[in-house]
Structure 1
Amino acid sequence: MLQTRKHEQKMQAWLQGLNMGGGHMRGNYDQTFVVYGAVFLPNATQTKITEINYGGKILLPTSALDLLLRLNIEYPMLFKLTNMPAQRVTHCGVLEFSAPEGQAILPQWMMQQLGLTDGDTVRVESATVPKATFAKLKPMSLEFLNITNPRAFLEVELRKYACLTKNDLIPTSYAGQTLEFLVVDVKPANSVCIIECDVNLDFDAPEGYVEQPRSVAPSVNVKPPAPPASAFLGAGQATAGTGSTATTTSVFGGAGRRLDGKKKPTSSVSLCSEGTTGASTSDAAAVANDLPAIPPVVVNEDYKAGRVSFIRYDYKRVDVLEKELREREANQKSQPSKLFQGSNRTLRGAR
């Protein structure tokens, strides 16, 4: 009986030291656990392991929940994790209270961030961090450039995280591959809560990205030289120039004549290129010689921005020229021939 009373007195003194009031203890949560990766969780499936590793929340035992409820911890429950020997710190939330007693299940990236291995100890403390207003992330892979809408993608992935701590390297899953982001900066503190808040998100250049140099156009406006006037001469003038490859002789020039005054029959009239069925080259050359010469282009040195002038040359289409040629030939056929006209003559003199 005496030992029982002594034990009860010790329990009352311990409770008074915790300042119990209204059936709830007031104070901060502070415990030390042995840490393990998600693969050591009993009866863990691949889906559960992926959910833990690609998020910022840990698993604690059921006894931790009982103590947190008695301590009247504010929601959402946020914790500060500290590797005491290395003095490395990060912040996180809690996913479930289903870990074995005395153990804490951490994501793999969080253990690497704290420098922990399976079986090490970590200090877990309740923490209060401000709401995030700004976050700057740096992609650690060039695969980030293949994401169509990175902001919408991170809006979904960051829901798996409760806190962001500066210099943390957090992983995300995209199209079956892992994309890591370095937390370059967060405001208004080095650790912020991103639950139910509006965050101004910014991105730094991906790791290994090299910006291509931009080609700068020369500032001096150099006008191209005007084309030669020979490029704008008519077809008839071009063929008559020195650049013509076919040389013709003027000996016995002219066209053939029949004694009955009729013209030599020809095929359909056309101004097509050589090798096609059409009018004779002499007929095509006659029409080509009638084409007006197009004047050369003159550069307007007094041009003013905002006014554009389009020059329209007086020319006819090929089909129109062919029609005119056919009409001209028809008129010539309808007129009587003037060949061998005149009165009869004899050697003896006029009759």
Structure 2
Amino acid sequence: MQAWLQGLNMGGGHVSGRYDQTFVVYGAVFLPNATQTKITEINYGGKILLPTSALDLLLRMNIQYPMLFKLTNMAAQKVTHCGVLEFSAPEGQAILPHWMMQQLNLCDGDTVRIESATVPKATFAKLKPMSLEFLNISNPKAVLEVELRKYACLTKNDRIPTSYAGQTLEFLVVDVKPANSVCIIECDVNLDFDAPEGYVEQPRQVTPAVNAKPPAPPASAFTGHAQAAKAAAPTTTIFGGSGRRLDGKKKPTSSVSLSSEAGASTSDAAAIANDLPAIPPVVVNEDYKPGRISFVRYDYKRVDVLEKELREKEANQKSQPSKLFQGSNRTLRGAR
């Protein structure tokens, strides 16, 4: 056992359980015998390829699963986190996605430090689409749920690509919780989206709501109609002749006649019938704009209120003293 541990120390092993190595990085196109499908799988994900010797060394350590790594460009002091896809890279090399090399300011042939890392499970992530094509996705959360399975970690300020309908959609990791780097494997993440890059929200045109009712049409509009109907009503001529006495004397003059009584009753009935308000003609609203309908409501009285007022008016007229037989009395002998 002691000889085995000494062999690990001589071979550069880390008995402390922390993996820390330096590799020369290359893009996915430099992977031997790489197909276009394999290159696409690497570039549209957050996992790297390491050599077989790295797997042998990791198996000798107490590395937590899933295996997560911290990548550091020592020259530019750029850091990100990732997972591992395969252990099929050439010895001494690490194959990185294209977006990860841009994130770390690395070129093919540069060196990068790869360390084992432990990051907490993600609880919240906020992404910012970098293109307006994001607005054409009908269900963006469902699409990202599938695409984010290709990633093991999310690091704040990383710019990750996804593939949708043959297009490349990039997202900026605006915020993640509970740390700046989180693991998104087998966890429930509350996903939120920021406004896409270049999106300008159109200002809403808010029309002020009018709660006050417009005034009712003037009473002259109804009284004129009633007067015109009263003038057009024919007057009755029943019992319109003059009366005669048997003794041949002239009938004394009287201010009341049957014809007047009949005419008065007829005119009163016509006035009551025409006293109801007439509905004005419908006016077309030419200022109507789609999206909002305005219902104009006039301050009319209800039918039961109008009928009550008419009944009270009729009762007041009946309660007044009658003007019939108000002339002075006379005798055959003359004045008393």
The 8 Å contact of residues 139 and 204 in structure 1, kept in 2 or not, is answered as yes
- Matched with 2:201 is 211
Matched, 1:187 2:196: no
In the alignment, which of 158, 162, 178 is matched to residue 172 of structure 1? 162
In the alignment, which of 273, 278, 296 is matched to residue 295 of structure 1? 278
The residue correspondences of 1:1-351 to structure 2 (distance < 5 A) are: 13=6, 15=8, 25-221=15-211, 223=213, 295-297=278-280, 299-300=298-299
The 8 Å contact of residues 72 and 78 in structure 2, kept in 1 or not, is answered as yes
Matched to 2:298, the amino acid is V
Q: Secondary structure at the match of 2:143?
A: helix
The 8 Å contact of residues 38 and 107 in structure 1, kept in 2 or not, is answered as yes
CA displacement at 1:300 relative to structure 2:
2.2
Post-superposition Cα deviations, 1:144-164, rounded to whole Å, max 9, x if no partner, equal 111111111110000000000
CA displacement at 1:301 relative to structure 2:
5.4
Distance in 2, matches of 1:301 and 1:294, equals: 9
Q: Secondary structure at the match of 1:52?
A: helix
CA displacement at 1:15 relative to structure 2:
4.1
Alpha carbons of structure 1 residues 225 and 176: separation in structure 2 relative to 1, 3 Å: farther
Alpha carbons of structure 1 residues 19 and 72: separation in structure 2 relative to 1, 3 Å: farther
The 8 Å contact of residues 80 and 125 in structure 1, kept in 2 or not, is answered as yes
Matched to 1:78, the amino acid is L
The 8 Å contact of residues 91 and 164 in structure 1, kept in 2 or not, is answered as yes
Q: How many residues align?
A: 236
Q: Secondary structure at the match of 2:191?
A: strand
Ranges in structure 2 where 5+ consecutive residues have no aligned partner: 229-273, 281-296, 304-336
The 8 Å contact of residues 79 and 125 in structure 1, kept in 2 or not, is answered as yes
Q: Secondary structure at the match of 1:137?
A: strand
Distance in 1, matches of 2:47 and 2:4, equals: 34
Matched to 2:86, the amino acid is E
Alpha carbons of structure 1 residues 301 and 68: separation in structure 2 relative to 1, 3 Å: same
CA displacement at 1:218 relative to structure 2:
1.4
Distance in 1, matches of 2:54 and 2:71, equals: 15
- Matched with 1:273 is none
Q: Secondary structure at the match of 2:101?
A: helix
Alpha carbons of structure 1 residues 18 and 61: separation in structure 2 relative to 1, 3 Å: closer
